[in-house]
Copies of this chain bind each other. A is one copy, B any other.
C-alpha cells in the first residue's frame, strides 16, 4: 500500500516555533519523586548521592547541547537556560522539550549505579518538563533568583522537619510545630539541636549552578602555542549565590541582551 494518499494526516501536525529574542527555559522535575526517593531510600533532608547524580546529568546536558548556557538545580528539579539566539531544531518547542527531557532521563538511568553503587534502581524514574520564554536578562535573572530563593526556603524547612523527626517526633507533629515559623525561629530551633545552618554544605543550601568557564589552556602547553591563543570552555558545577549581583558581574558573558 502506498503512503501517498494517507499523508494528508500530516496536515494536522502543528509546529510551534518559540519566539526569537527570548531565552528558553526548560525546567525538568522528577515525576512522583516523593515516592521514588522513599523506595530508593534517599537520605533526608538531602541525599548527596542523588544531588550529585542530578548535577552529573546537568553537566552532560551542557556537553551535549552547546546552546544551553546555564543550568540551575536543586532537589529533583533542574532548569536549563537555552541561549536567546539558539536555532536548535528551529526553536520548535516539542523538539527542544522532548530531547531535553529524554536525554536527561537517559543519563540519569545510565549513571545511577555510579552514584548509588549499593542501591539498585527498582523501577524506571521519569521526569516531566515545561518550557518558558523570557525575553529580557532581568527576567531570566529573576527566574533564577526565584528558584534559588525557593531552594533556600524548602531546604531550611526540610532541615528543621527531619531534625525534629529524627529526634523522635511524628511527622505530623513536626509539621504542626513548624507551621508559621519564621526564618529566625527555624535557625534558633536548629541551634538548639546543635546545627549551624550556615555551615551545612552549600550544595544543600544554595543548589547547584552549571555553566562553562573560560579556561585559558595555552599556558599549560609547552611549545608553539602562545598563552591565551586557545581557549576552551569547560563545564563546571558550583554552588554560587545567584541572587546577588556579584556572580553575574563576574560572569557577564553568560547573559547578554542583544
Contacts and interface: CB of A to CB of B under 8 A. Distances in A.
Q: How many protomers of this protein does the assembly include?
A: 4
Interface in A119-133: 121, 124-133
A93 to B, nearest CB: 8
Interface string A38-62: 0000000000000000000000100
A97 interface: yes
Contact of A132 (B13, B17, B133): B13
Contacts of A116: none
Given A2-B149, A125-B106, A139-B21, A134 B9 contact: yes
A97 to B, nearest CB: 6
Contacts of A21: 12, 135-136, 139
A163 B39 CA distance: 49
A133 B146 CA distance: 25
A188 interface: no
Interface string A4-45: 001111011110010111100000100100000000000000
A134 B11 CA distance: 10
Interface residues on A, range: 35 or more
A139 B1 contact: no
Q: Which of A3, A13, A124, A138 has the most CB of B within 10 A?
A: A124
A132 B95 CA distance: 13
Interface in A207-258: 243, 257-258
A129 B98 contact: yes
Contact of A19 (B7, B12, B28): B12
Nearest to A134: B12
A128 B89 CA distance: 11
Contacts of A257: 136
A146 B109 contact: no
Q: Which of A31, A105, A121, A132 has the most CB of B within 10 A?
A: A105
Contacts of A8: 142
A193 interface: no
A162 interface: no
A64 to B, nearest CB: 8
B109 A126 contact: no
Contact of A105 (B13, B17, B102, B133): B102
A102 B130 contact: no
B9 A19 contact: no
Given A13-B132, A99-B127, 17 more contacts: A1-B149, A1-B152, A6-B146, A6-B149, A9-B142, A12-B20, A12-B21, A14-B19, A31-B99, A98-B128, A102-B102, A103-B124, A103-B126, A107-B124, A110-B121, A110-B124, A136-B257
